[in-house]
Amino acid sequence: MENPVKPAESGEHSTKVALAMFSLLLLAYVVNAMDRQLFWVLAKDVREALKLTLPQVGLASTLFTLGMGVAGIPTGWLLSKMSRKNVSLLGLVIFSVATWLTGHSTGLYDLMAYRFISGLGEAMQLTAILAIGTTYFLKNRGVAASSLNFTFGIGAILGPNLGAAILNSMGWQAPFTIFGLLGVPTFLLILLFVKPWFSEVKSQGQTAVVVDESDAADSIWARTPVILAIATAFAGLSIYGYLGLYPTFLRDALGFAPKQAALSISCYGFGALLSLFGGWLGDRFDYRKLLFIALVISAITGGLLFTELGRSLEMHMFFSFIFGSAISGMVYSNLSAGIIKSVKRAKASEASGLFVAAIYIPAAFAGYLLGALKGSFGWTPAAIMQISGCALIAAILSIMAAKKK
């Protein structure tokens, strides 16, 4: 039976074309990241406008991650029934509409619904793009997976700063409306220019690249992918505890202005730009040891960020960069790539879905949990328990994820 997806042409030209198409898919993810970071910067304004409590806005600020987590594994299954390109496009439509609707929220419940739905859309895009990149660029799966986090870093820089500027001139609803509309041109670019010979590669025979899969598991439920998934869950609680309420800590506890809070959290995005380097390291060395070192650094700096640090904007910017470099640039990148590397290429879509579910289901409650811990113990002890503690647990688990014998 003839394969419906023709093998990619060899040579520099096809590689350049593939990279161009991958860049279009990553462009859509930049918009996702802009919205994700935008909400956390606007959380104080949303809370005041809709009369929400701190735990409620903490839940709302990360609730879209529950949608992402819930959609992760089903999207992996959906990718076996639909083309990866179409799954990505469908996710983009869902995400964009829900983002636009977020700017029209009137209370807690519709706000939560719109954030949840936007998470469903983002998960569909993330799972599809991960599967596309890690199966086409087979020998550089770490770099391919980390490129999504690299583009997240770009969005994490643009989103808070653009959002803060729009907030000051047009109010908190306008940034969501504008970011939602950005999905229209992105949709058209992907629809017109991303071709099946790139997006639908699923087996060794469809490209000239062959890798040794003797150590790769036949199932996502094997020992190594499961341990890495558990480590991912704890890392998610650390990452999204920080992202969910760090801007609120800066504004409420330290009295930072919106632009100052945006500058500080944007430095996390600059750290995420090291993702490509982190993926490159993970492709060439033992990514488990790299994960351990980066998670220990994350535990130390994550706790420090929820102290006054002399109320110095520069110090908060510096440690946000270090935290972002470690937990986003190194940890997120190598956990996503590690789960995919631990299984055979044909299971890449399922492994992508497992990663998305593992990080985003627990992360959905990270902001609410940190808000509740803060209410009982104060900001700094709460951060040490959640941000630092969960990172250390993930570090231990990453070392336990031994190669399959």
Give per-residue pLDDT as tens, 358-395: 998 988 888 888 988 998 999 999 999 999 999 999 99
Q: Binning pLDDT at 50, 70 and 90, where does residue 202 land?
A: low
What's the pLDDT score for residue 1? 36
Give per-residue pLDDT as tens, 17-67: 999 999 999 988 888 888 877 777 787 788 888 888 877 876 776 677 789
Give per-residue pLDDT as tens, 145-199: 888 888 877 887 788 778 878 877 787 888 888 889 988 999 999 999 999 888 8
Considering only CA atoms, which of 268, 267, 264, 287 is closest in space to residue 277?
287
Determine the angle formed by the axes of helices 54-78 and 223-248, rounding to 10 degrees: 150
φ, ψ dihedrals at 371, nearest 5°: -65, -40
Considering only CA atoms, which of 265, 269, 360, 363 is closest in space to residue 306?
265
CATH of domain 12-400: 1.20.1250.20
Mean pLDDT for 89-94 is 95
First to last CA, the chain: 35
The domain ranges of the chain are: 12-400
φ, ψ dihedrals at 217, nearest 5°: -80, 155
Tokens for 160, please give them: 């808070």
Helix (H, G, I), strand (E, B) or coil at 217: strand
